[in-house]
């Protein structure tokens, strides 16, 4: 994402006041998603699950390229924004473009976090935190299972 560097206040603004419009929409019923996805992909992306720490194939991969949504192929992140956060999940400082990601306040597990979803198909990706490196200060903590390497 070269045109604007998102900051924590931008993320909160989207979560509180509405997200940017996606370039397109993909909507399917659960039965259709179940036919397309593995059981684990369905659980994580459609039911808001989480993979085990350090278990994902993208956790320690840093080859050049882009990562897309496993459900709809929406481009999400560029490998140039990926960093080793030590958390056990792939981490990125910025999405590939502002409207690639949808933000939602998540009050599960007795805490308030900001959930990140694919803005095209609403698949659960992970969460964003304000403890990432500069210049954004953001850490998009993403489930490997919710993404696929697209180039």
Can you give the length of the chain in residues? 151
Estimate to the nearest angstrom the gap between the alpha carbon of 68 and the chain centroid. Answer: 9
Q: Which entry of 59, 118, 121, 141 is annotated as an active-site residue?
A: 141
69 is catalytic: no
Sheet with 113-118, edge to edge strand ranges: 82-83, 91-92, 139-142, 124-129, 113-118, 101-106
Active site amino acids: 141
């Amino acid at each position: 994402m070269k045109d604007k560097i998102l900051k924590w206040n931008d993320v909160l603004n989207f979560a509180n006041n509405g997200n940017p419009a996606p370039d397109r929409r993909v909507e399917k019923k659960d039965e259709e998603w179940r036919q397309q996805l593995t059981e684990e992909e369905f659980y994580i992306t459609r039911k808001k699950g989480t993979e085990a720490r350090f278990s994902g194939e993208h956790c320690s991969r840093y080859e050049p390229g882009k990562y897309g949504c496993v459900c709809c192929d929406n481009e999400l992140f560029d490998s140039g924004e990926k960093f080793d956060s030590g958390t056990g999940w792939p981490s990125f400082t910025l999405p590939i473009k502002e409207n690639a990601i949808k933000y939602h306040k998540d009050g599960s597990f007795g805490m308030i976090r900001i959930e990140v979803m694919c803005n095209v198909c609403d698949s659960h990706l992970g969460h964003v935190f304000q403890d990432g490196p500069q210049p954004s200060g953001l850490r998009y903590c993403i489930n490997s299972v919710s993404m696929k390497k697209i180039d």
